[in-house]
Amino acid sequence: MVKQRIRQNRLYKVLHKNLRIPPWVVRPFYRALKITGSPTQYRLRKRLAREIVAITKPRMTIPDRAGYRLFGPDDIEGTDGIVRFCEAVYRQSREAFPPEYFQKHPHKKFLFPILEGAEFCRHPELLRLMVSRPILDAAAVYLGTIPKLTGARLCWSPENETARSSQLFHFDYEDLRQVKVFINIFETKEDQGPLTFLPADISHQVQRAIGRVLGRVQDERIYEGGGRSHEVKLIGPPGSGAFLDTSRCLHYGSRCNRRDRVVLIIQFLNCYSAFRPTAPFNVPPDLLGFKPDLVQRLALGIH
């Protein structure tokens, strides 16, 4: 299995990096290749996702056309626990940040990760809340399979006066579809550079009007394609947030903050995605105080 994974990764690198074949062409082929290597797990993940729709009937779902779903602090059980934990981590981290920390992130001085990847495994209670069934079921129904938790970051966005990089409209290219969960840790208002996005159907209309969006795009260009007046801003009290398909919804954030913003970002991808995270999860099989069910174990990659 390890040798097969290495061969697959090399193939993806040759097709995309060396031959410069666009990722939206390579990814379906790469996914099919990975599925042939583990067809039993593929069928299991698909079956469990169908059962969630038919039996569990989750209250929180993501409309396919819009590609997003907003939620309030009381809509998902356990969100208050996430907020309390992340608020404490943020306050402790701010006091402990060494000066050299900021030198390690010279290109994104508007967004700093406080906690990311495997660091969450040191906090089983937080990890349990991140893969709570309301959150996980919503992602599974939208993606049509039990996804994998591929990334998480607790991010601090400080005051800034910039509008560049991910502060401009863009898509995320990890896969053709994905679900990112954004949770505001403190009350977030318009002057704090909130996540701002266009629904998936409007993003599609914009691309039809101006051509395929690659990289970062200025507002004026997006507005020329009909995006003006359709922006959704993720503002609200602590615990408010959104499920967002950042592969289909044009978005930006952390632009020209007048005050600090802290947000938890959780990423779910199809298990057979070609994306390899820079800060991966390596979840141990035995998490103290957390006994995940089968769906949660698949999402965490625990076998």
- HEC states along 216-249? CECHHHHHHCCCCCCCEECCECCCCEEEECCCCC
Q: Which residue has the tokens 């959150």?
A: 135
Q: Which residue has the tokens 């040798």?
A: 3
Q: Which residues of the chain have pLDDT under 70?
A: 1-17, 23-24, 97-107
pLDDT at 107: 59
Q: Which residue has the tokens 């994104």?
A: 108
pLDDT at 64: 98
Taking the C-alpha atoms of residue 83 and residue 183, their distance in angstroms, rounded to an integer, is 8
pLDDT at 253: 97
* Residue 14 CB-half CA count within 13 A: 7
Span 117-134, pLDDT tens digits: 888 888 888 889 999 999
Q: Where are the beta strands (DSSP E) in 139-240?
A: 148-157, 179-184, 196-197, 232-233
pLDDT at 266: 96
pLDDT at 7: 44
pLDDT at 251: 98
- In 3D, which of 182, 156, 160 has the Cα closest to residue 96? 156
Backbone angles phi and psi of 43, in degrees to 5: -65, -40
- In 3D, which of 177, 93, 183 has the Cα closest to residue 130? 183
Taking the C-alpha atoms of residue 225 and residue 176, their distance in angstroms, rounded to an integer, is 21
